[in-house]
Amino acid sequence: MRRWDKRGERIWSNLVEMGIKPPKKWRQMGVGRAENSSRPVWKSRPRNQIVVKDSAPESFLPEEDIIPTVDTSGNRMTKITIPLADRL
């Protein structure tokens, strides 16, 4: 069983570095414990979220394309299409 405990400790240590809270068993074993009375790594940012660095600019995909919006008449607003040549 020691082999699996060491393997689990290594895996959960890596997941803690990514911000995922380890299960109670592993926390009791000391995985993810903070040093120098600071907050644990998995508590430093919102739980279970990994920072994603997207290379696309924010203007690449307008918000209207992601979230459908409705005008006052109850109809969906017309989508503006930009030719491929203009986008490149």
Predicted model pTM? 0.43
Q: Which of 31, 24, 28 is nearest to 7 (CA)?
A: 31
Q: pLDDT truncated to tens, each residue of the chain (88 aa)?
A: 688 888 888 888 888 887 788 888 888 888 877 777 677 776 766 655 666 676 766 666 655 555 666 666 666 666 677 788 887 7
Rounded Cα distance between 37 and 27, Å, is: 16
